[in-house]
Amino acid sequence: MNGTRKLFLLILLSLFAACGNQKPKGVTTTLSSSDRTKFLGRWAGNYTCPRMAAHPDTLIIAPGNGELDFSLTIHAGIMNPDLVTGHLTGRKEIMVTDQQLGGAPGSARISMRGDTLRFEQSGFDVTCSGDDYVIF
């Protein structure tokens, strides 16, 4: 092989290798327990359901059994507190699936925006939410 052909082949192989190392769009990077740590603590915010006034609410988020799991007390100190489990599904998201939430079957999503949390709870075809939960 002549030098020009070797150089071309080397460049072509380098391009293929670089393309193989890129992650497709929409693929989340690997999550770890350090991603979970930022959610841990007692969070206070305001919670509301349709046709109801907002009222103070507390979420208690503790480590769960697995590296990316949580033990959560929702509505701590007010209406029907429940101990549920959640799972870190993204660097800024916890999912709670098919459990008793506030005394009713449902699911929830907790998302982080900056230093605050948003809590969305669904069950019985109703979605309630809490905004601006801050750690205290």
pLDDT digits 0-9 by tens, 60-88: 999 999 999 999 999 887 767 889 999 99
Read off the pLDDT of each residue in 35-56 and give the average, rounded to a whole number: 93
Antiparallel, parallel or unpaired: β 41-48 and 69-74: unpaired
Measured CA to CA, the distance from residue 34 to residue 134 in angstroms comes to 19
Average pLDDT, the chain: 82
Q: Kindly report the pTM of this predicted structure.
A: 0.76
Answer for the pair 46, 118: CB distance below 8 angstroms, yes or no: no
Residue 68: name the closest of 100, 90, 45, 43 by CA: 90
Domain ranges of the chain: 33-135
pLDDT, position 19 = 45
**According to the CATH classification, is domain 33-135 in 2.40.128.120?**
yes
Asked if the model's pLDDT at residue 48 lies above 80, the reply is yes
pLDDT, position 3 = 55
Question: Helix H segments across the chain?
Answer: 3-20, 33-37
Read off the pLDDT of each residue in 44-50 and give the average, rounded to a whole number: 93
Of the chain, the percentage scoring pLDDT greater than 90 comes to 57
CB burial of 54-75 (b: ≥16 within 10 Å; e: otherwise) equals eeebbbbbeebeeebbbebbbb
pLDDT digits 0-9 by tens, 15-31: 444 444 443 344 456 89
